[in-house]
Amino acid sequence: MRIKEIIWGTCICSLLFACKKDNNKYNYSNVNELNITGPKEEILVVQRDTIRVNPVITESQSGSGPYTYKWEIYRSKDLNSWEITPINPATTSTVLSTEKNLKVPALAAPGTYLLQYTITDTKTTLRQSVRYPLTINGKYYEGWLVMADKAGKTELSFVRQDGTVFPDVIGISNPGLSLSGKPLAAFSGIQSKLEDVNVFTDQGMYRFSANDFAFTGKSPDLFEKPINPVVNPAYAVNSVNFDQYVVSNGNVYGTLAPNQGIAKYSERFNGPAGYSVFPYFMSGNQFWTLFYDNIGKRFLHATYTSRSFSTFPANTETGIAFDMSNVGKTMIGGDRGPNTEYFLVMKDASAYYLCSVLPNNKKPAGVMDKMDAAPEIDKAVLFAASEVNKQLYYAVANKIYLYDVLAKTARLVYTFPANQQIKDLKMFKGQEWGKSNPLYNTRLVVATYNGAEGELYYLDLLPIGDVANGTYSKKFGGFGNILQINYRNPNL
Amino acid sequence: MKYLSIIFVMLMMMLASCKKDPDAVFSGKDGITFYYKSGAEQDSVSYSFKFNKVPKTRDTVWIKMRLVGKLSGKARKIKVIAGAGTTATQGSHFILPDFVLPADSFQVRYPLVLLSSDDLNTKAVRLVLQIAESEDLVVGTRGAADVSTVNAVQFKVNFSNRLIKPDYWSYIAYYIGEYSAVRYQFMIDVFGMSDFRPDTKGGIIGYAQWVNIKGRLRNALDEYVSQHGPLLDENGGKVEFPL
């Protein structure tokens, strides 16, 4: 019994002796807090231009520091989580400067970045960071691709968003590269990891970087089977960022978008015997890939990552404007209207029709209205629709008509001089993804040719669809015989 | 006093048990195993003499082996035998050559020789390769050797003169449908090759290629059907390829 008491006593004494008076020799100081004021909006810079940021820094404890500074950039994908903290830094970043103010050339690849500014108080080693969105644009970051025949040769020019015109961008970026065949069309493909411009001649497709027009490939190398001769080409990317499509001569070829994998364009899409699609792509979240077959006079659809078309089942319901499986008409053009409703102009032996399809709907058939009150519609092949109002513009010779889809009538809204033929007509609009622009759907862009010079006109639109002030707002000249125009959308 | 004695004895025992850890050095006979990449490969392979564009009466299947132990300056004998579960006959269906692990080598590929015999026109056989102890090397340790490879002491080879279901088929069935010999032969005829091993299983055909392959197969099948009528497999089922 006694030994137990000794053991317990020893333990308790040991614990008591472990206690010691705390001398409390600490000084408590308020932490210096920094307030960093920098740009309020996204920083936009063209590649190789200078990024300048002069932040205003105020400290809560004057005389603190000295400080060290770090400016670094990274992409969103380099973050471990959306909340970046000192213990959760970007996995990859590029340090631009260690000066207080940032003044360095933008040498990183074109794209969207986060610019992070970190200040470290060397006395306390406490750090404070702020982030700013930064976009580095290539020289050709956004604007109109103008495809022209200049003295029998393909000339692609670029009208940048800020109005700067760059003639013959392919020739300048690729001395020695010659595009064989007659020029036809140029399309941009902008998606995640996809920044291409595809140029078609009647002999094939040439692919370029959309950022600097450097040549990156051509047919037949890019295809499993040759596609030449190219006739009525089209190119599109679906909104789910899975597939790219090329249309030529009524055939469709597909490949995945680069973020899904790299492959050549497939063989001609499998589908009903003898199909020949109109070169216009439609897409919605019920029917991701939709084309119109001008031989079978019906719509064909495919899901994403498929290389085979399916037909629609025959319609058995009443109250449906038309049967997707048996439309019985020939498509001559179209464009996307509001709420992913595509306005397509069709004809049969007796009349012209405004047909609409809504691929976001399980029952995609919209309207099929006779275009009885649309002057010269029988001569129209160029169409452009607003995505705000149900209005479809069409061009005939030197005239532009506006067809009001709801009123089912058309009126003349603009006339160029008689010798100036309209060669293409596009609504300035975005893709269904990416950056928005307040000017989207308020500007009609028209390419003309007068026999000597091609010109590009901006016609700004009033909400009712008429041309503001009755004339163009901007005009660019010096092009060859313009064949087609298309917008190069900004990188994501 | 009794308690003090007990505590004292225990303390002494604890102190006495402390001992310097000897330097750990492995000693024992070196071994040999088959090995394969985790995930991308497996411990079996299928072979058909029908895969060959030029007919062959024998062919060599190379099977990866590696040392479990120390390198040696001399070549060491490897012994591989037909293990339990083997249905193939040594001498008429296969030959297990005498082979050595070369000097200063850590790994080697064992040359299994397969023989085409008439009875393989109507059946498939299996060879279970089993590592046996040789005068130089024992059976190595099996199991995960590192994060990316696995050691095995058995390796299975299924073979026939007929088309045989590739071991990777379940990984490509999503794109091209369930296996049948007719379906597989059709693919071979269309593409002029028999190896459709996907990149996820050690091959070179990636997802982007599979998307296109199924479209090409559908086009080819449409053409076949327009000329010959439906393509029926060995079970009487209609061959079709997914959209």
Instruction: Calculate mean pLDDT across residues A41-47.
Output: 88
Residue A378: DSSP 8-state: G
Are residue A200 and residue A125 in the same domain, yes or no? Answer: no
The alpha-carbon gap from A164 to the nearest alpha carbon of chain B, in Å, equals 39
B5 close to A (CB below 8 A): no
CA distances from A390 to A20, A25, A354, A406, A411 (A): 84, 78, 11, 7, 14
> Quick check: pTM over 0.80?
no
- Decide if A318 is inside a domain: yes
| pLDDT tens-digit series, residues A419-456 | 999 999 999 998 877 778 899 999 999 999 999 999 99
User: Which of A137, A167, A194 lies at the terminal end of a domain, its last residue?
Assistant: A137
**C-beta atoms surrounding A361 within 10 Å:** 16
The alpha-carbon gap from A271 to the nearest alpha carbon of chain B, in Å, equals 8
By Cβ distance, the residue of A7, A267, A303 closest to B219 is A267
- Decide if A6 is inside a domain: no
Check B214 against A3: CB less than 8 A apart: no
Q: What beta strand segments (E) does A83-161 contain?
A: 94-97, 102-105, 111-121, 127-137, 143-150, 153-160
B1 close to A (CB below 8 A): yes
Closest C-alpha to B50, from B130, B166, B134: B166
Are residue A175 and residue A239 in the same domain, yes or no? Answer: yes
Look at chain A and report how many structural domains it folds into: 2
| pLDDT tens-digit series, residues A358-386 | 999 999 999 999 999 999 999 999 999 99
Check B1 against A267: CB less than 8 A apart: no
| pLDDT tens-digit series, residues A478-489 | 999 999 999 999
Closest C-alpha to B140, from B61, B91, B68: B68
B219 close to A (CB below 8 A): yes
By Cβ distance, the residue of B1, B207, B211 closest to A307 is B211
Question: How far is Cα of residue B43 from the mean position of the Cα atoms in its chain?
Answer: 4
Arithmetic mean of pLDDT over chain A = 91
The alpha-carbon gap from A81 to the nearest alpha carbon of chain B, in Å, equals 27
| pLDDT tens-digit series, residues A109-147 | 888 888 999 999 888 888 888 889 998 888 899 999 999
The alpha-carbon gap from A467 to the nearest alpha carbon of chain B, in Å, equals 46
Q: Which two tokens stand for residue A355?
A: 């047909």
pLDDT at A123: 83
Chain position carrying tokens 């209005």: A391
**Which of A10-14, A240-244, B85-89 has the weakest average pLDDT?**
A10-14
B227 close to A (CB below 8 A): no
Are residue A383 and residue A473 in the same domain, yes or no? Answer: yes
Contacts of B150 (CB under 8 A, 6+ apart): B35, B36, B37, B38, B43, B142, B143, B144
What is the pLDDT confidence band of residue B27, given thresholds at 50, 70 and 90? low
User: Looking at residue A118, which CATH number applies to its domain?
Assistant: 2.60.40.10
Phi, psi of A232 (to 5 degrees): 45, 65
- Decide if A184 is inside a domain: yes
B208 close to A (CB below 8 A): yes
Cis link prior to B55 (omega < 30° from 0)? Answer: no
pLDDT at A92: 76
Check B219 against A270: CB less than 8 A apart: yes
| Partners of residue B199 in chain A, C-beta under 8 Å | none
Check B211 against A266: CB less than 8 A apart: yes
Closest C-alpha to A167, from A150, A176, A155: A155
Arithmetic mean of pLDDT over chain B = 89
pLDDT at A138: 83
Which H or E run includes A9? Answer: helix A2-18
The alpha-carbon gap from B211 to the nearest alpha carbon of chain A, in Å, equals 6
| pLDDT tens-digit series, residues B206-232 | 999 999 999 999 999 999 999 999 999
Q: What is the Cα–Cα distance from A55 to A58, expressed in whole angstroms? A: 10
Q: What is the Cα–Cα distance from A11 to B99, expressed in whole angstroms? A: 70
Closest C-alpha to A343, from A332, A330, A357, A331: A357
Residue B24 has pLDDT above 60, yes or no: no
B207 close to A (CB below 8 A): yes
3-class DSSP state of A197: strand
Q: Which two tokens stand for residue B11?
A: 């303390």
Residue B67 has pLDDT above 70, yes or no: yes
Q: Where are the alpha helices (DSSP H) in A268-399?
A: none
User: Looking at residue A391, which CATH number applies to its domain?
Assistant: 2.130.10.10
Instruction: Calculate mean pLDDT across residues A204-212.
Output: 95
What is the pLDDT confidence band of residue B99, given thresholds at 50, 70 and 90? very high
pLDDT at A259: 86
**C-beta atoms surrounding A106 within 10 Å:** 22
pLDDT at A193: 82
- Decide if A389 is inside a domain: yes
| Partners of residue B208 in chain A, C-beta under 8 Å | 255-256, 260-263
B3 close to A (CB below 8 A): yes
By Cβ distance, the residue of A260, A273, A307 closest to B212 is A307
What is the pLDDT confidence band of residue A268, given thresholds at 50, 70 and 90? very high
Check B208 against A260: CB less than 8 A apart: yes
Residue A227 has pLDDT above 90, yes or no: yes
Task: Answer whether A43's CB lies under 8 Å from A99's CB.
Answer: no
Q: Which two tokens stand for residue B241?
A: 């390829």
pLDDT > 70 fraction of chain A, expressed in percent and rounded: 93
pLDDT at A451: 96
Options 2.30.22.10, 2.60.40.10, 2.60.40.2030, 1.10.10.10; CATH for B31-160 is 2.60.40.2030
What is the pLDDT confidence band of residue B39, given thresholds at 50, 70 and 90? confident
pLDDT at B41: 83
| Partners of residue B216 in chain A, C-beta under 8 Å | 224, 266-267, 307
A314 close to B (CB below 8 A): no
Instruction: Calculate mean pLDDT across residues A224-243.
Output: 93
DSSP assignment string, chain B: -HHHHHHHHHHHHHHHH--PPPPP---S--EEEEEEETTT--SEEEEEGGG-SS--SEEEEEEEEEEES---SS-EEEEEEE-TT--S-BTTTEE---EEE-TT-SEEEEEEEEE--GGGGS-EEEEEEEEE--SS-EEPPPEE-SSSEEEESEEEEEEESS----TTHHHHHHHH-S--HHHHHHHHHHHS-----BGGGTSSB-HHHHHHHHHHHHHHHHHHHHHH---B-TTSPBP----
Helical packing angle, B169-176 and B207-228, nearest 10°? 60
Q: What is the radius of gyration, based on Cα positions, of chain B?
A: 26
Are residue A45 and residue A164 in the same domain, yes or no? Answer: no
Check A261 against B206: CB less than 8 A apart: yes
pLDDT at A190: 92
B13 close to A (CB below 8 A): no
Question: To probe the interface with B, which of A307, A309, A311 has the most B CB atoms within 10 Å?
Answer: A307
pLDDT at B1: 58
Residue A166 has pLDDT above 90, yes or no: yes
Are residue A380 and residue A241 in the same domain, yes or no? Answer: yes
pLDDT at A11: 65
The alpha-carbon gap from A366 to the nearest alpha carbon of chain B, in Å, equals 27
Task: Tally A–B CB contacts below 8 A.
Answer: 64
The alpha-carbon gap from A19 to the nearest alpha carbon of chain B, in Å, equals 27
Are residue A275 and residue A131 in the same domain, yes or no? Answer: no
pLDDT at A87: 53
By Cβ distance, the residue of B3, B209, B226 closest to A263 is B209
Beta bridge partners of A59: A34
Return the higher-pLDDT residue of A47 and A410. A410
Give the residue numbers spanning the domain of A90: 34-137
Are residue A129 and residue A184 in the same domain, yes or no? Answer: no
Closest C-alpha to A201, from A218, A224, A216, A176: A218
Check B218 against A256: CB less than 8 A apart: no
Taking the alpha carbons of A292, A295, A297, A299 in that order, is the dihedral positive or negative? negative
| Partners of residue B192 in chain A, C-beta under 8 Å | none
pLDDT at A111: 80
| Partners of residue B207 in chain A, C-beta under 8 Å | 256, 260-261
The alpha-carbon gap from A464 to the nearest alpha carbon of chain B, in Å, equals 45
pLDDT at A89: 62
B200 close to A (CB below 8 A): no
Are residue A160 and residue A220 in the same domain, yes or no? Answer: yes
Q: What is the Cα–Cα distance from A242 to B108, expressed in whole angstroms? A: 43
Q: What is the Cα–Cα distance from B63 to A433, expressed in whole angstroms? A: 51
Which H or E run includes A254? Answer: strand A251-256
Are residue A220 and residue A313 in the same domain, yes or no? Answer: yes
Q: What is the Cα–Cα distance from A442 to A427, expressed in whole angstroms? A: 8
Are residue A329 and residue A427 in the same domain, yes or no? Answer: yes
Q: What value of ipTM does the predicted structure carry?
A: 0.77
User: Which of A82, A116, A137 lies at the terminal end of a domain, its last residue?
Assistant: A137
By Cβ distance, the residue of A3, A263, A270 closest to B208 is A263
- Decide if A395 is inside a domain: yes
Q: Which two tokens stand for residue B235?
A: 């079970």
Question: To probe the interface with B, which of A267, A275, A303 has the most B CB atoms within 10 Å?
Answer: A267
User: Which of A137, A160, A186 lies at the terminal end of a domain, its last residue?
Assistant: A137
Q: Which two tokens stand for residue A489?
A: 């959308």
By Cβ distance, the residue of B219, B222, B243 closest to A303 is B243
CA distances from A383 to A73, A377, A428, A462, B174 (A): 43, 10, 13, 18, 41
3-class DSSP state of A140: coil
Check A255 against B218: CB less than 8 A apart: no
CA distances from A22 to A350, A358, B125, B228 (A): 102, 77, 83, 97
Q: What is the Cα–Cα distance from A308 to A253, expressed in whole angstroms? A: 10
Beta bridge partners of A53: A102
- Decide if A78 is inside a domain: yes
What is the pLDDT confidence band of residue A46, given thresholds at 50, 70 and 90? confident
- Decide if A28 is inside a domain: no
Taking the alpha carbons of A220, A225, A229, A234 in that order, is the dihedral positive or negative? negative
The alpha-carbon gap from A2 to the nearest alpha carbon of chain B, in Å, equals 9
3-class DSSP state of A165: strand
pLDDT at A81: 57
Check B243 against A256: CB less than 8 A apart: no
Are residue A118 and residue A153 in the same domain, yes or no? Answer: no
Instruction: Calculate mean pLDDT across residues A69-73.
Output: 93
What is the four-CA torsion angle of A180, A181, A182, A184, rounded to 10 degrees?
A: -80
Check A262 against B208: CB less than 8 A apart: yes
- Decide if A15 is inside a domain: no
Q: Which two tokens stand for residue B231?
A: 């393509």
Question: To probe the interface with B, which of A305, A309, A310, A311 has the most B CB atoms within 10 Å?
Answer: A305
Q: What is the Cα–Cα distance from A327 to B13, expressed in whole angstroms? A: 97
Q: What is the radius of gyration, based on Cα positions, of chain A?
A: 31
Are residue A107 and residue A170 in the same domain, yes or no? Answer: no
Secondary structure of B100-134 as H, E, C letters: EECCCCCEEEEEEEEECCHHHHCCEEEEEEEEECC
Task: Answer whether A127's CB lies under 8 Å from A119's CB.
Answer: yes
Return the higher-pLDDT residue of A436 and B83. B83
pLDDT at B65: 95
pLDDT at B192: 87
A404 close to B (CB below 8 A): no
What is the domain partition of chain B in residue ranges?
31-160, 169-228
Check A4 against B3: CB less than 8 A apart: yes
Chain position carrying tokens 């700013």: A132
B216 close to A (CB below 8 A): yes
